[in-house]
């Protein structure tokens, strides 16, 4: 199965591509070739760093192309900032809108004595009906590194607790996102990527 990985010059690209290939994906990478998005069978948007980097998706036309692909029913997976981009925007970069697939904003963890960013291994409480997280048991650990987080809503596929509960995975129809890094999350992360590859 072919997977189109979007490179907006802020993603952990090498590790993501390697992990996808490990689970059997035929990976192609693009930073501006809209034809690859137009013909995509699966799309993955990895991301690290500042939310403002997603501005490149707008300037290259990738935002419009990805929105059209999602509308066609192409399975989409956002990772870390790639998940945050699915929301209306982030308080990290108030002038840069997200895709708006989910209407809520991304906000920073509150300052309360705990260390921010949230870095390291933490557990998932996955919703049983999630197809992306099929076979992931409550308490399985994945790797995080982030200062901003999504709220818990009806679209939340898994929650994690750090300072307070936040959405560590989200899923609605063919659109999925994970705040953690599956490419750095050992067998649990590979299981999740394999589920995405098998998503019909």
**Quick one: average pLDDT of 172-197?**
98
Condensed to tens digits (0 to 9), the pLDDT of residues 13-42 reads 999 999 999 999 999 999 999 999 999 999
**Quick one: average pLDDT of 163-188?**
98
Alpha-carbon gap, residue 44 to 40, rounded angstroms:
10
Number of domains in the chain: 1
- Mean pLDDT of the chain, nearest integer: 96
Quickly count: other Cβ atoms within 10 Å of residue 161's Cβ. Answer: 11
Q: Which of 80, 118, 140, 146 is catalytic?
A: 80
Tell me, what CATH number does 12's domain have? Answer: 3.40.50.880
Helix axes 186-198, 13-22, angle to 10 degrees: 70
Q: Which of 118, 146, 171, 181 is catalytic?
A: 181
pLDDT at 193 over 80: yes
**Quick one: average pLDDT of 141-162?**
98
**Paired tokens of 198:** 């098998």
* Predicted local confidence at residue 62, as pLDDT: 97
* Predicted local confidence at residue 113, as pLDDT: 84
Alpha-carbon gap, residue 16 to 184, rounded angstroms:
9
Alpha-carbon gap, residue 127 to 134, rounded angstroms:
9
pLDDT at 143 over 90: yes
pLDDT at 12 over 80: no
Element (H, E) at 159: strand 156-162
**Quick one: average pLDDT of 50-57?**
95
Q: Which domain holds residue 101?
A: 2-198
80 catalytic per annotation: yes
pTM of model > 0.85: yes
Phi, psi angles (nearest 5°) of residue 176: -135, 150
* Predicted local confidence at residue 1, as pLDDT: 85
Helices (H), the chain: 13-22, 34-38, 55-59, 62-72, 81-84, 186-198
pLDDT at 112 over 80: yes
């Amino acid at each position: 199965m072919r997977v189109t990985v979007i490179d907006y010059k802020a993603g952990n690209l090498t590790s993501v591509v390697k992990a996808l290939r490990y689970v059997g994906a035929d990976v192609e990478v693009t930073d501006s070739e809209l034809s690859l998005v137009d013909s995509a069978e699966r799309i993955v948007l990895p991301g690290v760093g500042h939310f403002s980097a997603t501005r490149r998706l707008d300037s290259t036309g990738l935002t419009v192309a990805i929105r059209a692909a999602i509308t066609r029913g192409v399975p989409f997976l956002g990772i870390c900032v790639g998940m945050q981009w699915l929301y209306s925007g982030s308080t990290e970069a108030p002038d840069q809108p997200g895709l708006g697939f989910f209407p809520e904003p991304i906000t920073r963890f509150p300052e309360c004595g705990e260390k921010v960013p949230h870095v390291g291994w933490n557990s998932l409480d996955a919703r049983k009906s999630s197809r992306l997280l099929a076979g992931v048991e409550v308490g399985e650990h994945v790797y995080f590194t982030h200062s901003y987080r999504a709220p818990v809503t009806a679209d939340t596929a898994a929650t994690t607790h750090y300072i307070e509960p936040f959405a560590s995975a989200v899923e609605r129809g063919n659109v999925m996102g994970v705040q953690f890094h599956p490419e750095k999350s050992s067998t649990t992360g590979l299981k999740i990527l394999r589920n995405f590859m098998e998503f019909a």
